[in-house]
């Protein structure tokens, strides 16, 4: 009896001690929050209790909390998100260049689930899905009010499994459905070839773990075929949605001989980072043209911005997407994670590309579709089918005044210059057949510039000098 009594007393004392410890932790956390925050958390707890008690069907606390976290992050900006354990695993696999699904980049535009781009050589690409298509239904489920996370989860799946997408396309008066078989999406991030004129061509579809190595191998191949030299290079970043920052830095470093590539600025000290290229003994400044368009985003814009500010390459195409923000993956204890926007990117000249993008040196747009090219009766065409960061809900601004190219606060003013697919158009492809390839006017213009490199560079320098003089005259007049 005495032993049992002592054991009960010991247990009671332990419970009291645990209670006091938990109470102390709760008090400390509460003290770390403002009164307003604590009151809002109290409201959240009340709502949670009311829903669990009164909702038409039983609902678990985990489901409600997951939904609340997803909604909280989605309200911040288009790129912050809550990654469930499954989605977090998928992200880790995706950055290595392989994942199961359709091969499609999606976003939400004007409340509708919208295709940013199909990835080349994937089920979505071969099914004829186009940039700008609105996904109305996934199988039999309408996508209205469906989150991006849920949409991605529904489109992912094992190889060979079937899925139907019901689409709306500008220029096509009625909805149409495409049937696809999921596949293991293995993205070849670097594709290279020799152009008939003797120039090199490298296309980077996305920035993955091995992208930098792939670009370096392609350059080595060009040199070996041309007596150790590169005659000139077309570097194609069109419809590249971005990817890993370290690979964007590595690729930029391959083309630069020292100098700043990009820097980041956030609220925390560890979010203030600068990335530089290395000085090289055998570096050669061969002619180079970079192709971009509205599908070029994030890491693509870092590379294009660095090469443009450093006067290393001519940027050709159309305005880029304008995603100039840094997302940090923050793992949680339950193997889920937060993808949180923590900083902005700045080019070497101090330009933030957030919601603005990179303006090409040479503006060359692909041929516009005409009503005569649309076979469907009563069809209409969209003057601007590309999606940009500024079109997305909750996007944030770059913090700079319009036209301001000065370095952002806190950066070095002496910095040398500081910093998702194909827009094919027309009706749905018949039974997955690819549309007839159109003439690539942007590539043709790039080759023409390489052929007349010295003349073009002189014209470009004169144009910049005239623009600077006009800006200075306007400023003096204003003063």
Structure tokens at 82: 């809550």
DSSP classification of residue 349: T
Interatomic CA distance for residues 23 and 20, integer angstroms: 5
Q: Which of 77, 133, 239, 309 is catalytic?
A: 309
Q: Which of 298, 300, 352, 423 is catalytic?
A: 298
224: number of CA atoms within 13 Å, CB side? 6
Q: 4, 129, 156, 150: which is closest to 67 by C-alpha?
A: 150
- Neighbour count for residue 110 (Cβ, 10 Å): 9
Residue 197, sorted as left (phi over 0), alpha (psi -120 to 50) or beta, turns out to be alpha
Active site residue 323: yes
Consecutive H or E run containing 16: helix 2-32
Active site residue 361: no
Interatomic CA distance for residues 318 and 359, integer angstroms: 7
For residue 422, count CB atoms less than 10 angstroms from its CB and return exposed for 0-12, middle for 13-18, buried for 19 or more.
middle
Question: For residues 159 and 126, is the Cβ–Cβ distance under 8 A?
Answer: no
Q: Which of 296, 323, 361, 425 is catalytic?
A: 323
Active site residue 298: yes
For residue 157, count CB atoms less than 10 angstroms from its CB and return exposed for 0-12, middle for 13-18, buried for 19 or more.
middle
Positions marked active-site: 298, 309, 323
């Amino acid at each position: 009896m005495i032993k049992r009594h002592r054991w009960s007393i010991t247990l009671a004392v332990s419970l009291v001690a645990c209670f006091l410890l938990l109470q102390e932790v709760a008090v400390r956390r509460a003290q770390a929050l403002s009164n307003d925050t604590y009151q809002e958390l109290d409201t959240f707890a009340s709502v949670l209790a009311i829903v669990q008690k009164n909702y038409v069907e039983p609902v678990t606390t985990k489901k409600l909390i997951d939904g609340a976290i997803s909604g909280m992050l989605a309200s911040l900006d288009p790129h912050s998100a809550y990654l469930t354990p499954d989605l977090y695993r998928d992200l880790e696999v995706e950055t290595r260049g392989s994942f199961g699904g359709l091969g499609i980049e999606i976003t939400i535009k004007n409340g509708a689930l919208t295709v940013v781009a199909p990835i080349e050589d994937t089920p979505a690409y071969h099914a004829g899905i186009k940039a700008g298509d609105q996904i109305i239904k996934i199988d039999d489920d309408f996508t209205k009010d469906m989150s991006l996370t849920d949409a991605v989860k529904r489109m992912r799946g094992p190889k060979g499994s079937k899925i139907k997408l019901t689409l709306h396309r500008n220029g096509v008066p009625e909805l149409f459905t495409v049937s696809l078989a999921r596949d293991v999406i293995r993205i070849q991030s670097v594709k290279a070839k020799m152009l008939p004129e003797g120039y090199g061509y490298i296309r980077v579809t996305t920035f993955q773990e091995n992208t930098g190595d792939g670009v370096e191998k392609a350059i080595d191949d060009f040199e070996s075929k041309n007596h150790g030299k590169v005659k000139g290079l077309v570097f194609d970043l069109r419809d590249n949605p971005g990817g890993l920052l370290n690979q964007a830095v590595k690729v930029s470093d391959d083309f630069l001989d020292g100098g700043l590539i990009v820097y980041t600025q956030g609220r925390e000290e560890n979010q203030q980072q600068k990335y530089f290229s290395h000085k090289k003994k055998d570096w050669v400044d061969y002619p180079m043209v970079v192709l971009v368009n509205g599908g070029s985003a994030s890491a693509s814009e870092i590379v294009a911005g660095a090469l443009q500010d450093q006067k290393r390459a001519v940027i050709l195409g159309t305005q880029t997407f304008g995603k100039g923000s840094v997302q940090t993956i923050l793992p949680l204890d339950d193997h889920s994670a937060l993808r949180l926007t923590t900083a902005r990117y700045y080019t070497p000249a101090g330009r933030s590309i957030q919601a603005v993008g990179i303006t090409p040196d040479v503006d060359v747009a692909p041929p516009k579709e005409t009503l005569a090219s649309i076979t469907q009766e009563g069809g209409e065409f969209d003057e601007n089918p590309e999606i940009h960061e500024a079109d997305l809900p909750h996007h944030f601004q770059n913090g700079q005044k319009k036209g301001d190219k000065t370095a952002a606060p806190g950066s070095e003013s002496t910095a040398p210059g500081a910093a998702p697919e194909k827009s094919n158009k027309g009706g749905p492809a018949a039974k997955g057949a690819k549309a007839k390839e159109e003439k690539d006017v942007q590539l043709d213009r790039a080759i023409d510039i390489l052929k007349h490199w010295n003349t073009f560079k002189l014209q470009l320098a004169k144009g910049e000098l005239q623009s600077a003089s006009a800006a200075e005259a306007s400023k003096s007049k204003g003063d």
